[in-house]
Amino acid sequence: QDNVDIMKSTGTRILLTASPQTIFKRLESDTTRPLLKKGNKLENIEKILSDRASKYEQAADIVVDTDSKSVQEIVEGIAKVL
């Protein structure tokens, strides 16, 4: 909670979300993420999201779904709400 309070005092927090399948595809060849190195990568992503989603959502001012969107589309969507 301390980190959330610090973040809330410094500016607008934007949460970028994606489905576990999208995250899996984006990280498929990434070998630098310790929590995804062991076991089934998709299942690990699903568990991490399940464990953390409510905390992330509580801390966010704006939530942006990034599934099936290009970086440009995401940036434009954020710019519209700011």
Check pLDDT > 70 for residue 1: no
Check pLDDT > 70 for residue 24: yes
Question: How many other C-beta atoms are found inside a 10 Å radius of the C-beta of residue 10?
Answer: 8
Across the range 3-30, mean pLDDT stands at 91
Question: How many other C-beta atoms are found inside a 10 Å radius of the C-beta of residue 1?
Answer: 8
The pLDDT value recorded for residue 9 is 84
SS3 (DSSP) at 58: helix
